[in-house]
Structure 1
Amino acid sequence: MFRIAKGDFQKPVVFSRVALTNFCIENSLIEQEYDLPPELSFSDRTLESQGRTNWLKKRDSNWLLLRSIITPDLIEQYLFGNGISQQILDEVSTGGWANKSAYYRALNRYIALGMTKNALLPIRLKNSGTHSPKYKTVQEITVKRGRKSKFSLDQTRGICEADKTKILAIANKFKAANKKFSIQAAFKLFDATYQRTEMQRDLGDGGIQKITLPFARSECLSYHQFYYHFRKLIDAETLAKIQHGHLKYAKDIAARTGSARDGIVGATHRYEVDATVLDLYVAYPYKAGLTVGRPVLYLVVDVYSSMIVGMYLGFSGPDWSGVAQALANACIDKVEFARRYGLDISESDWPAHHIPREITIDNGREYKDCVISSALKSLLGISAVNLAAAYRGDCKGTVERTFGVLNDSLVHHLQGSIFKQQDRTESHPSNDANYTYQQVVGILINEIIFQNKSANRLKKLGFKAAIDGCDICPEAIYLHSLQHNMAGGRPTKVDEQAKVYWAFLPEEEATVTDHGINFGGLEYISDHSLIASMFTTAIKKRFKIPVKRLKDYVNCLWYQAKSGEFIRLDLKRINNDSRYLNLPWEIVEHRLFEETCIEHGAKEKERYHRAERDSKIGALIDKSAVESNFAPTSLSKRRSMQPGIKQRKVAQQQQNRNAEGAMLTRMLTQPANTQQEPSAEDDLYDIDGELF
């Protein structure tokens, strides 16, 4: 048994079992575990990394002085024999420690702490300063600890527990205010709050003047005192939260120990969806040299394999509407989708047309009402929609990283892209927009296929996939997991695409007329018998029906009948042609507004041309009246048809025929290069000459 007196280990006492039992009973001792200092098990490298180099020097010095008396024989003689007093005296005489007590203290320590070399470490030095007096209030402070100031200034006072409470209160103010923080600013607030006094002076006329004065320096804490104790009281994590805010800390600074795949069974178990403004300007298709701005790219990524399973490129948001479009795209076959943009791909090029079990989206208010609907469960069987914390893109890390890959590998290399801070002396990228919407989507589809088939995802390779020799690209991991982990998943059949659209897309209203279905300024038709009956009903009165649309494709709408059947409504086209065909809704809506402006300008143009026409006709009538001495008759009150109209009509026809025959004779008989002066009779019928 070891005894400790004033921090030093005493010589171990040897007890028999009975004697030890009696000793414990007499002194009311209880059994308790004793943990040795952890530094005893640290390696020299670990101690050096902790700045304990001096400890190692002291330990090695003590070891050299003590190692001659810590042999097994001498230790046994020390504990159970006649002692080793003579051996210790010999060590003192040869220039070791100055007295025997130093050897005994080191020997007892060596035995008590496990008889290892690290038992000689000066471990108690780490407690230096921990037993200094702690004053509760300023009045209890008797002496200020620490070094003196090198400046000829009054010394500040010592710190007390009340001061530490005030420092914590200042830190909490910054934490609650969520404003820019620095320790210098915190000290200024501390000084203004706790190290000033306010005096009032009577001005004699009933007024009172308030004067704020700082305490004397001897009654205050200095900035260096405040800084030292602030860093001791506030741990690094709390300080980082105060400096950057809780949201930024959680998003960009806090350690990441988890994984996006936690709790994921396999491919299609969970899809993540997010959006970013693409670093590229898109050309306006209706007029060369113009741009429609930078589009928003929505991506849907399978968390298990990081395969991109869906996309949508729009010009609004990021918002819930684009998210719904991307999710619908993730669940449908990509062959028809790619064909819209002039690409001929096979199902094996982009084999992603499966319905997920779960979806992770941003925690926006609009998502809860518009995306998270009963239709997802009743129509598609999606079990959960996970809402990531607001402004926490890191909670959707799989899809967030994909945006960076697409920008770096493709978008920043296209004409009209933004990839650096724009120099004012250079042409703005919007002036270089060269790719239309259809071209950009086609480029993105090809890039997505490339990324799915070539990206290195070795870290996502499972044990079963490794055994089977699965490739490490996202597509291979996705397909392998579908087969072995998800029993093939839930692929969307061709006749189920309308169901997918209806489950994801927001509901809107269209107006049924007797000649078509009007929606968003365009007209749609269908040869379905139910729609034909609607057209008949709308002859008497127009009415509205619920429809859903793909925002990247104006060619069709979807309507669900009461029977549950989904009916496709197609854009009305003449000769299979339309100036809006295959375009996204955002561009079409802009064009429709532009056409409204064009029509307004055409009306103004028509007013000017009508005025010009009326002026010329009036001049012609006036000229003819003067030449023929024709005066307009007064208005007749006769109710029956004027007599002699037929006879006068026949005479006029004969006169016209004679004039036309004479003109034809002159044209056939005169030489081609001969020009005759017009006759008076010709002038009579030269209306073009009169008008122009």
Structure 2
Amino acid sequence: MIFYNQVYQYVSKEDKNRIRIIEIDDPIAYYVELHGDTSMPKKSDIKTLEAEIEAGVLLAILDPYMVGYEDKDLTPKQIEKRDEDWHVVSNTWEKHKLQLLEKKLREQSFGTIAEAFNLSNLKVKRIFTRFWQRGLNKNALLPDYIYSGGKGKERDLSNVKVGRPRTYALSDDTKQGINITDEVKKQFKHVIKKYYRKKEQITLAETYDYLLREFYSHQYTENSVVKYKVWDASRIPTYNQFYYWFKKYENPQLDISLRKSTKEFDLKHRPILSNSTLETDGPGTRFQVDATIADIYLVSSFDRSLIIGRPIVYGVIDVYSRMFTGLYVGLEGPSWAGAMMALDNMVTDKVSFCGECGIEIDESQWPAKHLPEIIIADRGEFEGYTVGSLINNFNIKIENTSAYRGDLKGIIERQFGTINGKIKRKTPGAIQKEYRERGDRDYRLDASLNLGEFTKIVIHLVLQHNQKIIEKYPLEKGMIASGLVATPINIWEWGIANKKGRLQTITDKNIFRLNLLPKGKARITRAGIKFKGLFYGSEKAINEQWYAKLKNKSIDIVYDPRVMDQIYIPHTDGRSFDVCYLLDTSAQYKGDTLEEIEFYQQLLQEVKAEELNKQRENIINTDAAIEEIVKKAIKEKKAVPTNTTKVEKIRDIKVNRAVEKQLNREDEKFDLVDKPEIPVAKVVEFPMKTEEPPKKSGSRLMNKLKKKRAEEFGKDE
């Protein structure tokens, strides 16, 4: 309900408007805003205001001006000014109420009141504004002295304490406060939602400050700066009260999700009520796959003075037994190339794998060389189309976890943490702390291990892990009865013997690798099978005349991006394939990786683009030169007068050509005899003589040319 003389505050508006209900005439309510020197009444439907209250847009707050004053505590000046203004209000408010509430009649009423009391209209408006804003009572007209007092000036003090006496001792401050009504609780909920549950992650104490600023303070301006005056302690809720009700309303999941993220809650704060081991039915039911960047810097295998950075470690682990079933240590990734190597190692005999690295073991130390039923990975390498062949041809299910949810692969994540911790303590070049302080030695300069040596270390750590007792492993009754010691190898062997599991073996690794390699689309052209700008040839393509019959057709291929000398055309059975070899037209890329090839091709395109700009500039300049020559020729042609008809011009083309050819031959002929340089002679002037006419040429062709020219200029030979 809407109550007379109740103060409300809008919380959804930027200016945080506060209003006071000054009259109710159902279904209309009149109100004034509690800011401004001349705030005039406005009206609104009561139902509209009630709907805003129901929606939490409008909140009831304590009256900011509800302070009990006694005349004995006031100065004579305050009483005098209050009584003068009250004389105006008390004699006119009830009489002129209807006119003052209505906008159209208000100005006329103000004029009448101003004339009756010999005041200005503005003065009357300010008196009524103060009356309406501050509680519709006599003390509402008290002057504001709370913000005055000679700032910067010294005051003559007596032995009596200046200012308002304390109601309570300081030691009892925590006992102050107000009754927490439903309206106050709404205010608490509002500031918690608006300020506390935000990405800025402000503290609860700061949220309490916002509560006081919005609902329990006066806003005023001092030296053009907006400031807030918090109400007396007896009229505001204490921090302890706010904290108490915050804990009552606390929703940890919502708070963490809104202040940080839902992923943060799921990763670090969600209840852990299940065990991933219980979701498996023996070895091979679920394998977890993950990658990490090792906390160590390595050196080159060819030159130990060259630091090559940090290696990538891919691991595959059996959820049921906690045993590592696959491993890759290298420089590929995190990418499908690295994941592909880990999966390939997963089905590799570990005795031969360790032997290649110079470590002798027997099969009982690392018996894993199988495919699982389900592979659990994170989004990325295992979310693309590449894994489709594993799913379709080997009946392996891929489960991708949510982004940033490493806890869903907690087993492999934990083991990576253990391995990295051991590496940091034992090896040179390991990352000792995230940020080095000034003067600290750069640990990267201590790097001494190459990739092969680091791989041996990781293998030893994996072998150690496979025989380590697992604390808090949920042993089954059968395990306990058989006296099983909970090590990964023991659990693996016990699971194979007593549980059904889902392990699969691979008889032909090439078929498995065929299904691991990334896929692509190649196009058949007359120049060969084109893929990534390279051209390949195939015996099958030649025999079946693909280049003529299937020109421009697209085909599916698989390739190894680490060496592009060959690509493979898989058959529909997923177990056989045709090999395509690099043709001579692309032989310059033999032995290169896809990254190198793409780099060279991009470089070539950049060079072409740069040269193309030069060519365009050359074309523009050439066109301009041609246009200038043509323009000059046309201009000179127009300047030459002619009496020849069009028919004569066409008829004489052959003759003109022959004459022009003869003249050109004179200029173009070769003279192989070097002529001595003739020194420049001194010019001596002689009296002018009458020039003899030139001798006639004996050449009939030359005579004809001269005659032709004479006709053109109107002269006779």
Residue 103 of structure 1 corresponds to: none
DSSP-derived class of the 2:278 partner: coil
Q: Contact between 1:271 and 1:359, CA under 8 Å: does it hold in 2?
A: yes
TM-score (norm 1): 0.52
Gap change, CA 1:481 and 1:589, over 3 Å in 2: same
1:132 corresponds to: none
Partner of 2:385: 370
Quick check: 1:514–1:535 contact (8 Å CA) kept in 2?
Answer: no
5 Å-filtered alignment, 1:581-620, equals none
Q: Following the alignment from structure 1 to structure 2, what is the Cα–Cα distance between the partners of residues 329 and 338?
A: 11
Alignment-mate amino acid for residue 150 of structure 1? L
Structure 2 counterpart SS, 1:459 = coil
The corresponding residue for 1:21 is none
If asked which structure has higher relative contact order (CA below 8 Å, sep 6+), I would say: 1
Superposed displacement of residue 291, structure 1:
2.4
Contact 2:299/2:308 (<8 A) preserved: yes
- Is 1:161 the counterpart of 2:174? The answer is no
Q: In structure 2, how many angstroms separate the alpha carbons of the residues matched to 1:520 and 1:292?
A: 28
Partner in structure 1 of residue 576 of structure 2: 566
> Does residue 193 in structure 1 map to residue 206 in structure 2?
no
Report how far residue 301 of structure 1 moved: 1.1
8 Å CA contact 1:278–1:295 kept in 2: the answer is yes
2:346 equivalent in structure 1: 330
Contact kept, 8 Å, 2:393 with 2:574, in 1: the verdict is no
After TM superposition, the structure 1 = structure 2 runs for residues 485-496 of structure 1, keeping only pairs within 5 Å, are: 485-486=499-500, 489-495=502-508
1:150 aligned residue (163, 170, 176): 170
Task: Tell me, in whole angstroms, the C-alpha distance in 1 between the residues paired with 2:459 and 2:537.
Answer: 30
Q: Which amino acid aligns with 1:449?
A: L
For 1:101, the equivalent position in structure 2 comes to none
| Deviation (angstroms), 1:279 | 0.6
Measured after TM superposition, the shift of residue 233 of structure 1 is 3.4
1:595 shift after superposition: 14
- The reply to whether residue 416 of structure 1 matches residue 429 of structure 2 is yes
Structure 1 residues 474-483 or 430-439, which shifts more? Answer: 430-439
**What's 1:476 paired with?**
490
Structure 1 counterpart of 2:91: none
State the alpha-carbon separation in 1 of the partners of residues 365 and 275 from structure 2.
29
Q: Which residue in 2 is equivalent to 1:266? A: 282
Aligned-pair CA distance for 1:290: 1.8
Q: Against the structure 1 CA distance between its residues 570 and 369, is the aligned structure 2 distance closer, same or farther, given a 3 Å change threshold?
A: closer
Shift of 1:238: 5.8
CA contact (8 A) 2:371 2:506 kept: no
SS in 1 for 2:383: helix
- Deviation for aligned residue 1:470: 4.0
Post-superposition offset of 1:224: 3.8
Counterpart-to-counterpart distance in 1, 2:518 and 2:192:
47
Q: Secondary structure at the match of 2:418?
A: helix
Distance 1:310 1:369 in 2: 21
- Structure 2 residue 376 is matched with structure 1 residue 355: no
Q: Answer yes or no: is the 8 Å Cα contact 1:167–1:190 preserved in 2.
A: yes
SS state at 2:327 partner: strand
The alpha-carbon distance between structure 1 residues 166 and 417, as it changes in their structure 2 partners (threshold 3 A), is same
Structure 1 residues 156 and 471, CA gap change in structure 2 (3 angstroms): closer
Counterpart of 2:392, as a letter, is S
Q: CA deviation at 1:399?
A: 0.7
Report if aligned partners of 2:61, 2:215 keep a CA contact under 8 Å in 1: no
- Any conservation in 1 of the 2:357–2:456 contact (CA below 8 Å)? yes
Change in Cα spacing, 1:415 to 1:405, as seen in structure 2 (3 Å) is same
The DSSP-based 3-state class of the residue aligned with 1:162 is helix
Distance 1:507 1:635 in 2: 71
SS state at 2:314 partner? strand
**Offset, 1:174:** 4.4
Question: Which residue number in structure 2 is paired with residue 500 of structure 1?
Answer: 512
Displacement after TM superposition at 1:358 (Å): 1.6
Q: Residues 331 and 353 of structure 1 are in contact (CA less than 8 Å); yes or no, is this contact kept in structure 2?
A: yes
What is the CA–CA distance in structure 1 between the aligned matches of 2:286 and 2:311, rounded to whole Å?
A: 26
The residue that corresponds to 2:444 in the other structure is 430
Q: Is the 8 A contact 1:513 1:535 kept in 2?
A: no
1:549-606 Cα offsets, whole Å, 9 max, x none, are 567888986541356443486999xxxxxx999x9x6xx9579979999xxxxxxxxx
Q: Where do residues 113-512 of structure 1 align in structure 2 (5 Å cutoff)?
A: 138=62, 150=170, 156-174=177-195, 176-196=197-217, 213-214=228-229, 216-217=231-232, 218-234=234-250, 245-285=261-301, 287-315=303-331, 317-319=333-335, 322-335=338-351, 337-338=353-354, 341=357, 347-363=363-379, 367-370=382-385, 373=388, 375-382=389-396, 384-410=397-423, 412-421=425-434, 422-456=436-470, 459-486=473-500, 489-495=502-508, 497-508=509-520
Aligned length: 444
Q: Distance in 1 between matches of 2:417 and 2:362?
A: 27
Query: Shift in Å at residue 516 of structure 1?
Result: 11
1:345 to 1:561, Cα distance in 2 relative to 1, 3 A: farther
**152-161 or 225-234: which moved more?**
152-161
Give 1:269 deviation, angstroms.
0.6
TM-superposed deviation, 1:391: 1.1
Secondary structure at the aligned position of 1:312 is classed as strand
- SS of residue in 2 equivalent to 1:387: strand
SS at 2:398's partner residue?
A: strand
Checking the alignment, whether the CA contact within 8 Å between 1:281 and 1:295 is kept in structure 2 is yes
The two structures, once aligned, show a CA RMSD in angstroms of 5.2
CA distance in 2, matches of 1:557, 1:285: 29
Query: Any conservation in 2 of the 1:325–1:550 contact (CA below 8 Å)?
Result: no
Instruction: Evaluate the alpha carbon distance shift between residue 505 and residue 164 of structure 1 in structure 2; reply closer, same or farther with a 3 A threshold.
Output: farther
Per-residue CA deviations over 1:186-227 (Å, capped at 9, x if unaligned) read 1122223323456799xxxxxxx9966445325433334323
Q: Does the CA contact (< 8 Å) of 2:217 and 2:231 recur in 1? A: no
Q: Structure 1 pair 443/211, CA: closer, same or farther in 2 (3 Å)? A: closer
Offset from partner CA, 1:625-648 (integer Å, 9 cap, x none): xxxxxxxxx999xxxxxxxxxxxx
8 Å CA contact 2:567–2:579 kept in 1: the answer is: yes
Give per-residue Cα distances to partners, 1:158-182, cap 9 Å, x unaligned.
Answer: 3322111221222223465233231
Distance 1:376 1:594, change over 3 A: closer
User: Secondary structure of 2:282's partner?
Assistant: coil
**Contact preservation (8 Å) 2:511, 2:574:** no
Q: Distance in 1 between matches of 2:410 and 2:569?
A: 36
Matched-pair contact (CA < 8 Å) for 1:156–1:222:
yes
Q: Distance in 2 between matches of 1:531 and 1:313?
A: 38
SS at 2:459 equivalent = helix
Relative to 1, partners in 2 of residues 1:333 and 1:560: Cα closer, same or farther, differing over 3 Å? farther
Equivalent residue number for residue 618 of structure 1: none
Distance, in Å, in 2 between the alignment partners of 1:376 and 1:157 is: 68
Q: Write the deviation string for residues 296-355 of structure 1: whole angstroms up to 9, x where unpaired.
A: 222111111111111233546534554454334324444555565455655444322222
Paired residue for 1:66?
Answer: none
Question: How many angstroms apart in 1 are the aligned matches of 2:580 and 2:291?
Answer: 29
- C-alpha distance in 2, partners of 1:535/1:468? 67
Report if aligned partners of 1:512, 1:543 keep a CA contact under 8 Å in 2. Answer: yes
Q: Identical aligned pairs, as a percentage? A: 24
Superposition deviation, residue 239 in structure 1: 5.7
